[in-house]
Amino acid sequence: MPLNQKNPTLTDSWKRLKEHFNHISKKKIEDHFQINKNRGKEFSTNFNEILFDYSKNKINKETINLFNDLLTEINFSDSVKKYFSGDIINETESRSVLHPALRAKGTEEIFVDGVNIIPEILLSRKKMSDFSHQVISGSYKGIDETKITDIVNIGIGGSDLGPSMVCESLSHYKTRLNVHFVNNVDGDQIHEVLKKLSPSSTLFIIVSKTFTTIETITNGHIAKEWFESNVKNKDISKNFIAVSSNEKAVTEFGIHHSNIFPMWDWVGGRFSLWGSVGLAINLFIGSKNFNDLLMGANEMDGHFKSEPISSNIPLLAACISIWYNNFFDYETHAIIPYNQNMKSFSAYLQQASMESNGKQTSRNGEFIDYQSGSIIWGQAGTNAQHSFFQLMHQGTKIVPCDFIGFSNPLNNNIKSHQILMANFFAQTKALMTGKKDDNAHKYFKGDRPTNTILIKKLTPKNLGSLIALYEHKIFSIGVILNLFSFDQFGVELGKKLANDILKIIKEKSSINNDSSTKNLLNKFFDSI
């Protein structure tokens, strides 16, 4: 059954939210703290080792109640049931959306086309775990019976951003293996990686559902040519692995069928790190830590499914995002993790969110006249404080932010961690309060909204919960705004035109193009 197709702006709840906005928008965030001395506690909620403080926002309890009314009016709970049960909610591509199934417990049952997919997922999970153990222990050997020391993951988009972000974030938990990520068709990237490696001790993982993605397959062939030119035995079967659904193309490439890990149609690329796409993660941090990552996400799934809006972190985050984007016209949202290992987290969420909800069309097939997804960006603190925080504090654009911090450091660097966390807490306070000064250049208006996510420690389990939190936030925004969040047709046009222009480049002919493209191509031809 399809999701509801209600235009949210035509609901009674949305109209009441507009009226409420006209009143509450005149109040400063600090005013709410003056009214309610216990606001910090009342506008916070806990999940396991995660605290979500949303008190520094331009909202009150009425705001939350009105959004709850909106959820009732659009039958949000029905959409959540369909999301987790395998209904075809990716209607434009006739697919289920079941990345939560990849971290499901073995006791659960989830059906696609009448078949329980959990046994198949568990088999794949075991295959990954067994393979990971063999490689890490050294019992799995590459060509010439050489132990594997390095992993090269070749992918793009969701086949790269998720695994690379998780490996980077959890580098504290790494095994003896080194992992490298190649994601750009720019040949300079892969050649810079390859020149540091020994072919016999390197394991390549080529990640492509169709095994036809031009960037990935081009890099795959470069890796294969490099490997074959540097070993006596040209057999790549032990040093090349594939994550794909196209067994024929993979085996034709030279990869043994036993070294193919599955991908499923009911998982989109940007939500796929929990399954075989996360093989590089499994190898990098080991199966136990990978399973902890899954467990954290699975527990957040349960939280999202069961909790009311007042204590439901992903749902609160989604409603607050819609509140700013559609009522205050704050178009962007910054993600600031105060942990250097998580420096790619914002970029990961940028893809996950903007590819999902960067849409102009409702589920009814009509062009919308309201805002869809926010522009997501950010950087790790404290570096961010010395770059774009100037604009956030004193610029003319208001940027709602999520601040993500960890109470305990990964290493015994207490002094440094105290300084880091002092900055973390100070920035949300400064953005809210501002600073009065007779010198206009030193005056801070304040009243800048933030969410604070405080986590006990950066562990695989907590990271899994955090990623799933944002996944469900993305889903919730799409449901409320009547969008299809799980296709990405906007990506396809550029791919098609790139293939067309590639033919032109090979033929060195710029005809049949607009004058700008023609001029640029001619200049390119003159330079090569």
Separation CA 160–CA 170 (nearest Å):
15
Query: Any residues with CB less than 8 A from the CB of 107 and at least 6 apart, and which?
Result: none
Cα 509 vs. chain centroid, distance in angstroms?
A: 40
- Reported as type and span, the H/E element at residue 392 is helix 389-394
Q: What is the 3-state secondary structure (H, E, C) of 314-325?
A: HHHHHHHHHHHH
Separation CA 455–CA 285 (nearest Å):
20
Proportion of the chain in helix, strand, coil states, percent, rounded to 5: 55, 10, 35
Backbone angles phi, psi at 311, to 5 degrees: -130, 10
Question: Hey, is 481 helix, strand or coil?
Answer: coil
Active site residue 355: yes
Q: How many CA atoms does the CB half-sphere of 320 hold within 13 Å?
A: 29
Catalytic residue, from 168, 215, 355, 471: name it.
355
Active site residue 495: yes
Active site residue 471: no
Catalytic residue, from 386, 429, 445, 523: name it.
386
- Reported as type and span, the H/E element at residue 241 is strand 240-243
- The single-letter code of the amino acid at 507 is E
Establish whether the linkage from the previous residue to 382 is cis, with ω within 30° of 0. Answer: yes
- DSSP class of 135: H
Separation CA 222–CA 119 (nearest Å):
36
Question: Among residues 235, 167, 223, which one has the least CA distance to residue 193?
Answer: 223
Q: Which is it for the CA torsion 294, 299, 302, 308, positive or negative? A: negative
Are 424 and 455 within 8 A, CB to CB?
no
Between the CA of residue 464 and those of 47, 219, 295, 402, 494, what are the distances in Å?
13, 29, 7, 17, 32
| DSSP result, 81-98 | HHHHHT---BGGGTB---
Catalytic residue, from 435, 495, 508, 523: name it.
495
Strands 332-337 and 260-261: unpaired
Separation CA 28–CA 55 (nearest Å):
12
- Reported as type and span, the H/E element at residue 240 is strand 240-243
Separation CA 505–CA 516 (nearest Å):
15
Separation CA 405–CA 452 (nearest Å):
8
Task: Kindly state the tokens that stand for 435.
Answer: 């600073």
Separation CA 145–CA 160 (nearest Å):
29
Q: Which is it for the CA torsion 498, 502, 503, 508, positive or negative? A: positive
Question: Among residues 31, 307, 280, 343, which one has the least CA distance to residue 132?
Answer: 280
- The single-letter code of the amino acid at 347 is A
- By annotation, the residues acting in catalysis are 355, 386, 495
